[in-house]
Structure 1
Amino acid sequence: MFPHSPILAPVVALIAWSMVMWLWMYVTRIPAIQRMKLKLDSQAPRGEQMNTLPANVRWKADNYNHLMEQPTIFYAIALTLAIIGAGDGMNLTLAWTYVGLRVLHSFVQAVINKIELRFAVFFLSSLVLIGLIYNAARLIF
């Protein structure tokens, strides 16, 4: 077994969570497409056909897409912290907090999609991410 930085655990956890959301997206999307007897058209403008699906089905796909956006910054900064040997202590706590908030954000968006609540969770996760970036910048520069 190779030694590794503890901060890699929340990285893998968020990647695994992204795949849970991918599965949830398809488990809800495919039956909705079948119920609507939607004929998929490769010539339709991007996303146009999926916009006809019920909102509560689209929310899962929207969240999956969101997990491909800001978390890429988390992956980069967490890997940076792991490489420089700073993937433990407060940085590890911040990383797990970020992951927890992103999972909470997923549930809020995928289940109730209350925008004010979703934004509050997103904002908090962004502050945590800024903390990780600050800590890495302090050590690098």
Structure 2
Amino acid sequence: MGKQVLLIEDEPNIIEAIRFILTRDGWAVSSHSDGANAVAVVQERRPDLVILDVMLPNRSGFDILADLRADPALADLPVMMLTARGQARDRAQAEQAGVSRFMTKPFANAEILAAVRELAGPSEGANAAREPDQP
């Protein structure tokens, strides 16, 4: 099975799109939609990467990120934040909170895949195991 990605996002269309992109590349993707208990879900599932929306019901992605970074067991966990609001102050706030990568919506499929591969390393799925062409 591929590496685990936890997608914390409340928009069903975004969840479906990211799940499709990543599972096709060999990633195991689970999702969660409520900010109130998102940190507990991360602690329980121990994913290789978290994709975190900024605007969630019951709690901000920025607050969730701050809690993840404050937990010694999760401080180094790669976290990519997604937001429809791409203002400079949002990016600065995310970077100050310790985000690994900041990406705005809408995004290109290739952009999401490249960011996930960079942050968590290649998946262990079939698509990641391709050998380069030999001469």
Establish whether TM, by shorter chain, passes 0.5. no
* Highest RCO, 1 vs 2 (Cα 8 Å, sep ≥ 6): 1
The structure with more strand, counted as a fraction of residues: 2
Q: Please, what TM-score do these two structures have when normalized by structure 1?
A: 0.27
Q: Please, what TM-score do these two structures have when normalized by structure 2?
A: 0.28
The structure with more helix, counted as a fraction of residues: 1
Structure showing greater radius of gyration is 1
